[in-house]
Structure 1
Amino acid sequence: MPSPTTLWNQAMIDRYDLAGPRYTSYPTAPHFAEGFPASEVQAAIARSNASQRPLSLYFHIPFCDTICFYCGCNKIVTANKGRAEPYIDLLHRELALRARQFDRARPVRQLHWGGGTPTFLSAPQMRTLMRLTGEYFSLLGDDSGDYSIEVHPGRMAPDTLGVLREIGFNRLSMGVQDFDPRVQRAVNRFNSVEQVSELCQRARREGFRSLSMDLIYGLPHQNPDTMAATLEQVIALEPDRLSLFNYAHMPHLFKSQRHIDAGALPPPADKLAMVHHAIDRLQAAGYQHIGMDHFARPGDSLALAQARGEMQRNFQGYTTHGDCDLLAFGLSAISAIDNVYLQNHKDMVRYAQSLAVDGEPACKGLALSADDRLRRAVIGQLICHFHLDYAAFERDFGIDFKRYFATALASLRPLARDGLLRLDSGGITVSAGGRLLIRRICMAFDAYLGSQEPARYSRIL
């Protein structure tokens, strides 16, 4: 069935809009521990190979030639293009390492290059990295996989799209953020409507089957009128998917944000007005509100996967390939192998040294307990599908759901009284007015949240 309409309930947003995880993983990354045993990694890889699940590959390309002040990603800002070549050599080493550990027959259903700005690489370097990937892993040669790349539309020549399509990419994600010139100057990120339009047209001619755009609300000098204008320009470009992210100003965590004038940030009421208008306008334009900050056209594979009950969530966000084991390569990249999470070193020197000395680039990890796996499944079901059936979990996990989660369900009763969800004898159903607060609902099932934990996270809206 199609995704229901999301309804705005200002009173409930005022009551429940707090900080919390985005749940691209459970447990979340702050709970990964250093000194993770190599034996745990090897055992997880053995279970992964025995399962014969397909693979998803992620490559973190950290380089940017200019700095976007709002960015909280792990990045290296440099104009020196020569830094890319030794990094590809490091990725080559990591590819060779993982290829020795994983069954080559397992197909790569999903592949993603993120960053940073992956198109910082030259065309020959991009061809080399994809060729090496194909030498070590079983890439699909029939264009049936979801192979995507993030691009900065203001820093990429249209001809680059031909190279990307040639080497196998069929999905394109553009970080538009905002078209207003004053906002762009304030965050040092520039891309005009004309540039993005040209890239969209060229991408469609090249045969990319999905175009996605990212917008950010809450940036300096934004207001409801400027954001509405950007949104109309984006809708006219007809992306297949659209993400609308909340800017979280945390200069104590992200140095680049210290360049932003906090006095120019829009007040909370304006931020809420922006997202309220955007949700209503996008739904009126025919987009389905997939969940949280993601929208898709009804015929997009993500919307279809949600309608079939197959959409899942992982470190790349909502996905149609949650059944894959995720192998992540490069600086700070996070893998999900069977019931183990692994994160690579965030520092380039340590990342390089680890590959040279012991061949293992991961510095942190976490083995999920039975309780972790159960709670991950509960949170994933709610955040993707807004409904949970007790009987299904009792069958799959051998528990009495209402007894096991008695504390969590008790904490949800006030939200049920406020109409954000329905608790009945058979399960949980999130209402149209509760969908915007799904992160708050999922937090009831999070066993790791402590009194200080929300300070690490952005607000829900």
Structure 2
Amino acid sequence: MSCWNPDIIKRYGGHGPRYTSYPAASSFHEEITDQDYRDALADGNNAKRALSLYMHIPFCEHVCYYCACNRIVTGDKRIAEPYLETLLKEMTLKSALIDSQRPVVQMHWGGGTPTFFDDAQLTRLMHQTGRLFHLLDQDRGDYGIEVDPRTVTSSRLSLLRGLGFNRLSFGVQDLDPRVQQAVNRVQPFETILALFRSARDFGFRSINADLIYGLPWQSETSLARTLEQLGALDPDRISLYNYAHLPSRFKVQRQIDETTLPSPSEKLRMLTRAGSMLEEMGYQLIGMDHFAKPDDALAQAQRDGTLCRNFQGYSLHGDADLVGFGVSSISQLGTLYAQNARQIDDWQMSLNQARFPVRQGYRLDQDDELRRDLIMTLLCGMQLDLEQFGQHWQIDAANYFRAELDSLRPLLADGLVTFDGRLLQITEMGRLAARAVAMVFDRYQTPQTATRFSRII
């Protein structure tokens, strides 16, 4: 399809934010206080907003050489218990200031690898969450967890389902044994297949598979084979991420032999073929690097205009207050972003003193708010009605964004967007470069500042 035009990918595939927030986290500063966080929780109570909970468990048993996440690699399971104890302290501290009637419509446990915790620890964390917060029964909430196929079994999946999780995200990355060996993530296809089958048997309603392209020894042909095998697993959603090789920033990536990495031209062929294959397999591009089946909740939400975006990526519950727990986690409470300390010692010290472990954050002003709304509307719905937008925000939107709309001319000429004076639409060809469209309306980004981010495509 025209969406996978290699010329457009090359022209607009530069660097830019992922827009899990606006402004991006690079704008966060250290002037956010404990009182700011308390005030934001109180505002959410007054507005009776629903809740989305995120638990960050940073531990991994094995190091993956491509990884750029905030994680701790260790085989020493004794480290898990003191972390869990501090996590429970944070939950108790924050829950005391949150109206217990606010429903938890979404919950996600990420990392690292949350299943680094053993069965008893997972059970304890979930039970304490249910005691402190209003979890929904009968599968009415969207409760997901990231799992490493190397460290879970069918019985562990059964436990997770029994605890109330109904969504799984598997870190597949690649199914070629040579690629797996090169990135130190060996997980045979048969193992992943068995886990997928168990997950279906246990009634998980959505299964996501993460893939990465640009890894050592990958090629257009090998990635196509991985996608063919993945088709047999029949995931509901697929994420296809671009590997960014930055060994100067992420020391573990120095374990990768750069001579085995695919060339930029090969990566371009990999992406275009993969995108076309996924569409032929029945998946639709939600945006950026996320694909979903047409009957998946994300695809349905995009069609009916309710799709949102937050620090958990595309979401069905972007209007909920996102409360983060654990080292480096980010909360989004109305107009406040607040990120926890990135070092475990700092995080634990704050909580031992009964203080919120906020390290940095950002409070949006009115211009930030309306630009966030505009950017998220474009990235989720692929269109924006300027007249309706202006009425909502009580502004003359066409005049307010006169300079930005004028800057869209090159994108209009290349067919990425259409604009009739009222309705701005991202075309089928433009969907893959939607972040480039969003950047036009980002007052914090310039070609110079954009280089700190990953590539758009």
Category of TM-score, reference length = shorter chain: over 0.9
Query: Pairwise mapping of residues 410-425 of structure 1 onto structure 2 (< 5 A)?
Result: 410-425=406-421
Q: CA deviation at 1:37?
A: 2.7
Q: 2:307 aligns with which of 308, 311, 336?
A: 311
Between 207-216 and 405-414, the greater mean CA deviation after superposition: 405-414
C-alpha separation in 1, matches of 2:165 and 2:395: 43
Say if 2:227 is the partner of 1:231: yes
Q: 2:403 aligns with which of 403, 407, 416?
A: 407
Q: 2:82 aligns with which of 82, 86, 89?
A: 86
Describe the superposition over 1:136-195 as per-residue Cα deviations: whole angstroms up to 9, x where unpaired: 101112211100000111222221001101111011100100011111111111211101
Q: 2:200 aligns with which of 185, 198, 204?
A: 204
Say which SS state the counterpart of residue 92 (structure 2) adopts: helix
Match of 2:103 in 1: 107
Whether contact under 8 Å (2:220, 2:269) holds in the other structure is yes
What amino acid is aligned across from residue 356 of structure 1 in structure 2?
N
Say which SS state the counterpart of residue 3 (structure 2) adopts: coil
Gaps of 5+ in 1: none
Match of 1:29 in 2: 25
Query: Pairwise mapping of residues 432-447 of structure 1 onto structure 2 (< 5 A)?
Result: 432-447=428-443
Match of 1:145 in 2: 141
Q: CA deviation at 1:358?
A: 4.3
Say which SS state the counterpart of residue 105 (structure 2) adopts: strand
C-alpha separation in 2, matches of 1:451 and 1:230: 35
- The aligned length equals 457
Gaps of 5+ in 2: none
Q: CA deviation at 1:129?
A: 0.3
Say if 2:319 is the partner of 1:323: yes
Whether contact under 8 Å (1:58, 1:328) holds in the other structure is yes
C-alpha separation in 1, matches of 2:130 and 2:35: 28
Say which SS state the counterpart of residue 64 (structure 2) adopts: coil
| Stretches of 4+ aligned residues off by more than 6 angstroms | none
What amino acid is aligned across from residue 170 of structure 2 in structure 1?
M
Q: 1:66 aligns with which of 62, 66, 84?
A: 62
C-alpha separation in 2, matches of 1:42 and 1:130: 24
Match of 1:187 in 2: 183
Query: Pairwise mapping of residues 27-426 of structure 1 onto structure 2 (< 5 A)?
Result: 27-426=23-422
Whether contact under 8 Å (2:283, 2:293) holds in the other structure is yes
TM-score, normalised with respect to structure 1: 0.97
Q: CA deviation at 1:390?
A: 0.3
C-alpha separation in 2, matches of 1:399 and 1:241: 38
Q: 2:446 aligns with which of 434, 444, 450?
A: 450
C-alpha separation in 1, matches of 2:38 and 2:153: 43
Describe the superposition over 1:412-450 as per-residue Cα deviations: whole angstroms up to 9, x where unpaired: 111101111112111211111111111111110111113
C-alpha separation in 2, matches of 1:179 and 1:141: 36
C-alpha separation in 2, matches of 1:377 and 1:132: 34
Q: CA deviation at 1:321?
A: 1.0
Q: CA deviation at 1:38?
A: 3.0
Between 443-452 and 410-419, the greater mean CA deviation after superposition: 443-452
Say if 2:4 is the partner of 1:11: no
C-alpha separation in 1, matches of 2:324 and 2:17: 21
Describe the superposition over 1:217-269 as per-residue Cα deviations: whole angstroms up to 9, x where unpaired: 01111000000000100011100111100111122222221211222111111
Q: CA deviation at 1:6?
A: 5.9
C-alpha separation in 2, matches of 1:105 and 1:218: 46
Whether contact under 8 Å (1:16, 1:440) holds in the other structure is yes
Identity of aligned residues (%): 49
Q: CA deviation at 1:47?
A: 1.2
RMSD: 1.1
